[in-house]
Amino acid sequence: MELAKKRQDNVANGHGSICGIYIEKAIGSNLIDVDGNVFIDYAGGIGAMNVGHSHPKVIDAIEKQINQYVHPCFTVAPYQPYVDLAHRLADIVPIKGDCKSVFFNSGAEAVENSIKISKTYTGRTHILVFSHAYHGRTQMTMSMTYKEDPYKKGFGPFLDNVHRIDFPKKSLDLSSLKIDPESLACVVIEPVAGEGGFIPVAHNAMGQIRKFCDDNDIVMVADEVQTGFGRTGTLFSMEQFKVEPDLFIIAKSIAGGLPLSGVVGRSEIMDSVHTGGIGGTFGGNPVSCAAALAVLNVMDDERLPERAIEIGKKVIDTINLLKKEISWISEIRGLGAMQGIVIIDDNDKPDKEHTSRIHQHALNNGLVMITAGTYGNIIRTLMPLTITDEELDESLEILSSALKIP
Rounded CA separation 54/26 (Å): 7
State the DSSP code for 106. S
Residue 14 has pLDDT above 90, yes or no: yes
For 30-68, write each residue's pLDDT tens digit.
999 999 999 999 999 999 999 999 999 999 999 999 999
Compute the average pLDDT of residues 244-256. Answer: 98
Compute the average pLDDT of residues 195-224. Answer: 97
**SS3 at position 206:** helix
* 3-state secondary structure labels for all residues of 374-399: CCCCEEEECCCCCCCHHHHHHHHHHH
| Other beta carbons less than 10 A from residue 148's beta carbon | 13
Residue 177 has pLDDT above 90, yes or no: yes
Mean pLDDT of the chain: 97
Rounded CA separation 319/323 (Å): 6
Rounded CA separation 78/186 (Å): 30
| Nearest of 275, 269, 288 to residue 217 by alpha carbon | 269
Q: Decide if 145 contacts 135 (C-beta within 8 A).
A: yes
Looking at residue 181, its pLDDT comes to: 97
State the DSSP code for 181. G
For 98-132, write each residue's pLDDT tens digit.
999 999 999 999 999 999 999 999 999 999 999 99
For 281-313, write each residue's pLDDT tens digit.
999 999 999 999 999 999 999 999 999 999 999
DSSP letters, 355-378, are HHHHHHHHHHTTEE-EEESTTS-E
Rounded CA separation 304/298 (Å): 8
| Other beta carbons less than 10 A from residue 165's beta carbon | 17
User: pLDDT grade, residue 158 (50/70/90)?
Assistant: very high
For 216-245, write each residue's pLDDT tens digit.
999 999 999 999 999 999 999 999 999 999
Q: Decide if 293 contacts 81 (C-beta within 8 A).
A: yes
Q: Decide if 199 contacts 270 (C-beta within 8 A).
A: no
Looking at residue 360, its pLDDT comes to: 97
What is the four-CA torsion angle of 171, 176, 178, 183, rounded to 10 degrees? -20
**SS3 at position 238:** helix
| Nearest of 327, 262, 320 to residue 288 by alpha carbon | 262
Q: What domains are there in the chain, each with its CATH number?
A: 2-54+303-403 (3.90.1150.10), 57-301 (3.40.640.10)
Q: Decide if 85 contacts 103 (C-beta within 8 A).
A: yes
DSSP letters, 259-297, are --EEEEEEHHHHTTSPTTSS--SSTT-HHHHHHHHHHHH
Cis peptide before 94 (omega within 30 of 0): no
Looking at residue 1, its pLDDT comes to: 73
